[in-house]
Chain A
Amino acid sequence: MNVGLVGMPNVGKTALFNALTGSFQKVANFPGVTVEKKMARMSLPEGKQCELVDLPGLYSLDVATLDEKVARDWLTGKTATAGPLIMVLDATHLQKSLYLLLQMLELGHRPVIALTQMDQSHKRGQEIDLKRFEELAGCRVLPVSAITGEGIPALREAVLQELTKNQLSVELPKDFQRKIKAPDYVVNKFRTIDEWLHEIVKKPLRPDTLTQHLDRWALHPVGGFVVLFTLLFFMFQALFSWAGPAQDLIETGMGALGSWVGTLITQPMLQSLIVDGIIGGVGGVVVFLPQILLMFLFIQFLEDVGYLGRAAFLMDGFMRKLGLPGKAMVPLLSSHACAIPGVLATRILEDRRERLVAMLVIPLTTCSARLPVFTLLIAALIPATSSVGPFSMQGVAMMALYVFPMLSAILVAAVLRKVMPHDAPSMLLMELPPYRWPKPRHLLRTLLNKANLFVSNAGKVILALSLVIWVLVSFPRQSDGTAVNIEHSYAAVIGHTFSPIFAPLGFDWRINTALIPAFGAREVLVAALATVYAVEGDEESQSGQLTTILGREYSLATLAALIVWFIFSPQCISTVAVIRRESGGWAAPLAMVAYTLVLAWVMAFLTYRILV
């Protein structure tokens, strides 16, 4: 029997889910649909346990999207494993939250009610008569706080009691689905809510002046854009200036590790494998972990604060002209951390075609895996000392490498919308949640989860690809067992094979060789180049000065063309896989790979021709 956690969107359901369960969450899909099902073990008093399922948020049993439908089916008794329910109610949004509760009571559910946001409710002078609330609802009402852990033990106790009770049978009245769509039904429910509120709320909430004040700026037709671009600008500056010291530390550490291992292992081939192949390759990418984490942190922060919805609001006018609703900004912005959560976030677009277009252009946005590549290439192109006023020139270039791909994504989307048959852009119609200061613990936890995923998933791919590259550059051996000149290695052969395609872009065989594994994961380019130069025995590669090598070996035109190639080139294997899963076929991922490949080649070619 699974305990379900149910609630409206933006009520703090996920935070409570995290507070109730340990750190081990399982993510799977609900049977038959691509709706994410988050499950975890929840410990109960007396050493007992149960499985807690985080149901997708829904406003009412009258549903609009697939996610909401999954939650509705659970509540209407169509899921066999559905057991007792915990319902999350936001104490500062009772007027909104009670609607779903009333519908659940109507069906015969008696959920345990977890009342969140009590601290905010107190702060804003609200007084709630919990006893009266329990009487009216006929179920337990427990104030809880996901941050302080207050009320959590009582909630566990209540769930245990529910589990030992006999199950209430849920009756779905005939014509219920039709009935709840009638305006009279809705108005009646609203009336009941007002009556309840009259009895439950002894002192009303003072208005949320913080949200009002902030929105005056954040949603201002001119000021709003200033805020948006300032936020983004400082983010890109931060990526360079804040992550720098941590990166230097990791770089030094990796170098020290390499030379230490080098003294331990004296067998030349094994030494080369471990020092050049593994430490050189993986280390080259690990160096960028601080930047990648900072990017994840920033996007998560914006999401938790409630700003992403505001960005969608601001951009709606502009986006609509191009044939997409402003809401498409949410997946586009979150794909800057990683394209995979971006593709998943396209679920907020109700229209199938719009969702498809958003998925197709998401790979163009600069995901954090491209950060290492861009950072390296920018550093090779622009000296660290040059600046524009108080800002570092490298930071400004990085900002351009976020803005330009984003604009390309929007432009390509506009073209796709023109080409594909379509209706008017679908609705914006969304709730803008009140601003909330993110809970550091929740933020940190999400961040650690993501970092863990990145390191373990990407790490495996990078390690495997680094080894393959090492083998390719180190073999074949000469008859006496020593390495051949790298110019005759397998890697060189492969690199030369692709020369006819890449020579017009100014790429030499080393870059060609590095480009191929980069289809597996973008950041491997850095690892691959590092390995190639390490095996080649370049002095400077020993000290991790790949930047210097690139600046010395390649012309400005080649480096610029390489940057442009990476703006447009097809996304990593994982993105292709997730687009296939989400679009339900191979057509979309193949189209994505095809058009980005062509676009990348043409744009890189133009760049090289103009600059050379």
Chain B
Amino acid sequence: MQGDIAEIEASARLRFQQQSLLLTEAFDIPNNMTLADVTPVRSYRILALSVTEESVMATRLRQLGFVPGMQFVCEAVAPLIKNPYLVRIRGINVALSRHEALMINIEEIRL
């Protein structure tokens, strides 16, 4: 009985550790960059979107080509207030507010 509980505890602890590791990987260095951190005329790749799939915003993002794996170029950012952003994705120019930009995880493509 004692052993069982210890085993359950151990496995739970292990699971927790694995999860927090995953979380660290997902949200910490080096990939905690979002579209809100872009600099004009550089290229980026989308890694993940933190929006609910059913939401209107998710739909709009998909329609315009914002899906994981897609590349885009930052065209313009309002410098002081950092809002809005203009990016070029799949041949079209898209304007995003900071609110939306924060939901898109990206990485830079260095040439």
- B54-91, CB < 8 A from A: 54, 56-65, 67-70, 75-76, 78-81, 83-84, 86, 90-91
Q: Does A93 contact B (CB under 8 A)?
A: yes
Q: Does B4 contact A (CB under 8 A)?
A: no
Contact A186 B67 (CB under 8 A): yes
Given A316-B84, A427-B97, A428-B84, also A350-B91 (CB < 8 A): no
Contact B81 A317 (CB under 8 A): yes
Mask, A403-436, CB within 8 Å of B = 1, is 0000000000000000000001111111111100
Q: Does A519 contact B (CB under 8 A)?
A: no
Mask, B93-108, CB within 8 Å of A = 1, is 1111101100000000
Contact B92 A186 (CB under 8 A): no
Contact A181 B97 (CB under 8 A): no
> Residues of A contacting B59 with CB < 8 Å?
62-64, 181
Contact B97 A428 (CB under 8 A): yes
Mask, B20-64, CB within 8 Å of A = 1, is 000000000000000000000000000000000110111111111
Contact B56 A187 (CB under 8 A): no
Contact A93 B92 (CB under 8 A): yes
> Residues of B contacting A96 with CB < 8 Å?
65, 90-92
How many A-B contacts if CB must be within 8 Å? 110
Name the one of A95, A183, A320 contacting B67, with C-beta atoms under 8 angstroms. A183
Contact A429 B62 (CB under 8 A): no
Q: Does A60 contact B (CB under 8 A)?
A: yes
> Residues of A contacting B65 with CB < 8 Å?
96, 190
Name the one of A183, A187, A313 contacting B95, with C-beta atoms under 8 angstroms. A313
Given A316-B97, A317-B83, A428-B96, also A215-B63 (CB < 8 A): no
Contact B57 A427 (CB under 8 A): yes
Contact B94 A432 (CB under 8 A): yes
> Residues of A contacting B60 with CB < 8 Å?
64, 427, 429
Name the one of B70, B83, B92, B100 contacting A429, with C-beta atoms under 8 angstroms. B100
Listed residue (A211, A221, A325) with the most chain B CB atoms within 10 angstroms of its CB: A221
> Residues of A contacting B100 with CB < 8 Å?
427-429
> Residues of B contacting A320 with CB < 8 Å?
83, 97, 99
Q: Does A258 contact B (CB under 8 A)?
A: no
Contact A313 B92 (CB under 8 A): no
Given A219-B86, A316-B84, A317-B81, also A424-B99 (CB < 8 A): yes
> Residues of B contacting A350 with CB < 8 Å?
56
> Residues of B contacting A221 with CB < 8 Å?
78-80
> Residues of B contacting A344 with CB < 8 Å?
none
B96: shortest Cβ distance to chain A, in Å? 6
> Residues of B contacting A326 with CB < 8 Å?
84, 97
Given A215-B75, A221-B79, A317-B84, also A60-B91 (CB < 8 A): no
A209: shortest Cβ distance to chain B, in Å? 13
A426 to B68, CA, bound (A): 22
Q: Does A88 contact B (CB under 8 A)?
A: no
Given A64-B63, A317-B78, A429-B95, output 11 extra A-B contacts at Cβ < 8 Å.
A62-B59, A63-B59, A64-B59, A181-B54, A187-B67, A211-B93, A313-B95, A325-B97, A427-B60, A428-B100, A430-B94
Which 10 A-B pairs rank lowest in CB-CB distance, beginning with the nearest? A59-B63, A428-B97, A95-B91, A64-B59, A432-B93, A316-B84, A317-B81, A186-B67, A313-B95, A64-B56
